[in-house]
Amino acid sequence: METNRVEAFSDGVLAIAITIMVLELKTPETPDLHGLAAVLPTLLTYVLSFVYIGIYWTNHHHLMHLTRRVDGGALWANLNLLFWLSVVPFTTRWMDESSLAELPVLVYGINLLAAAVSYTILQTRLIRLQGTGSRLARAIRNDVKGKWSMALYVVGCAGAFVSTWISVAAYVAVAALWIVPDRRIERAVAEGAATGDDGS
């Protein structure tokens, strides 16, 4: 199967997730800095989650750019990823409304960790389908950033029992690590264009 419908469906789900989050934002009750300060925590949690969904969208786009075929297993792996990303608006709102209480911050971290594991499963499945000698496989290699990310998520989840600020720092660190699109795949795309390699 080709990837067009996978990309279109994924784009739609992620766009809806972002829309749901922005609809949760409320305007300040007073037109001054005090009013703005009151909604600032909500705005910052929204920005963090928006960045996360944006990171997944850009990397999913790059991943699919080097993917020529998918199968049923890849479709379900993609749905698994989309499920965890579609839960982000809920865990974001709970974390915000609880004023960074221990359990909501922990659940937010578990949500992010589950999304990262799901992305790795999808990536592994697609590499297997394209072949170990494909441009996708060569671009991903050992995925050091992915492993560091999951380690930081675990630190963030465990840190919630000590201080939720440890968790927040870990979640922000992962976002900072991935804010720049994955250059490995961008380089592989550029190399393929130069050599006429179709990625298979």
Q: How far apart are CA 78 and CA 122, in angstroms?
A: 6
Average pLDDT over residues 7-28: 93
Q: What is the predicted pLDDT for the residue at 192?
A: 62
DSSP annotation of 12 reads H
The token pair that represents 112 in the structure block = 């992010």
Q: What is the pLDDT of residue 183?
A: 72
Please give the full DSSP string across 102-133, using - where no structure is assigned.
HHHHHHHHHHHHHHHHHHHHHHHHHHHHH-TT
How high is the mean pLDDT of the chain? Answer: 91
Once rounded to an integer, what is the mean pLDDT over residues 152-165?
A: 97
Q: Which of 23-32, 150-159, 160-169, 179-188 has the lowest mean pLDDT?
A: 179-188
Q: Say which DSSP state 32 is in.
A: S
Output 180 or 107, whichever has higher pLDDT.
Answer: 107
Give the pLDDT band of residue 197 (cuts 50, 70, 90). Answer: low
Cα–Cα nearest to 67, from 145, 142, 5: 5
Q: Distance between CA atoms of 151 and 142, rounded to whole angstroms?
A: 15
Per-residue model confidence (pLDDT) at position 198:
52
Helix (H, G, I), strand (E, B) or coil at 180: coil
Statement: residue 76 has pLDDT above 60? yes
Q: pLDDT grade, residue 195 (50/70/90)?
A: low
